[in-house]
Structures are given as structure tokens and as C-alpha cells.
């Protein structure tokens, strides 16, 4: 499933980043790396941006970028 498909308050692990070099670079700049655990805090209405928390940092990312991140739910 993609990060954008995750439900609010779900804790997920980043498995793979699909997309080109620029998408991976942008996520590295935000401090997101494969293997990181993140919590989904909010999804904007009508397909808007979403807010996540990774290692104590609040990060907002757009739907397109969130759809390029494959995740799995952490139990």
C-alpha cells in the first residue's frame, strides 16, 4: 500500500520510494528514509496534503509524493 492509503493514526514503515531521483532527493531533504517508522496524523480533504510525524518531526507532504512511497503497517 502507499503512504497516502494509510489511515489516520496508523503507524507505518517506509519500504520503498517509487519515482525518480527528484522524489527520492526531496524525501531525503525532509528526513525520510527507507526503513523509517512514521505516524499518519492527518489527511487533507479532497485529496489534499497529509501530515506525518517521523522521529518527532512534523512533516507535510502532498498526495502525489505520498503515493510514491510504499509502506507496511506496524503492529
Q: How far apart are CA 41 and CA 29, in angstroms?
A: 20
- 10 contacts: CB under 8 Å, gap ≥ 6: 39, 40, 73
Strands (E), 1-75: 11-17, 37-43, 50-54, 57-61, 69-73
pLDDT digits (tens, 9 = 90+) for 24-55: 999 999 999 999 999 999 998 888 999 999 99
* pTM across the whole model: 0.89
Cell of 67: 503515493
pLDDT digits (tens, 9 = 90+) for 4-31: 999 999 999 999 999 889 889 999 999 9
For the chain, the structural domain boundaries read: 3-73
Superfamily of domain 3-73: Ferrous iron transport protein A (FeoA) (2.30.30.90)
Average pLDDT over the chain reads 94
Per cent of the chain over pLDDT 70 is 100
Residue 65: pLDDT band with limits 50, 70, 90: very high
Q: How far apart are CA 43 and CA 54, in angstroms?
A: 15
Amino acid at each position: 500500500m502507499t503512504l497516502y492509503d494509510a489511515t489516520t493514526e496508523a503507524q507505518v514503515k517506509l519500504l520503498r520510494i517509487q519515482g525518480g531521483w527528484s522524489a527520492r532527493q526531496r524525501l531525503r531533504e525532509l528526513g525520510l528514509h527507507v526503513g523509517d517508522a512514521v505516524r499518519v496524523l492527518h489527511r487533507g480533504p479532497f485529496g489534499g496534503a497529509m501530515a506525518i510525524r517521523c522521529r518527532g518531526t512534523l512533516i507535510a507532504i502532498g498526495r502525489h509524493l505520498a503515493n510514491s512511497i510504499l509502506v507496511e503497517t506496524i503492529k
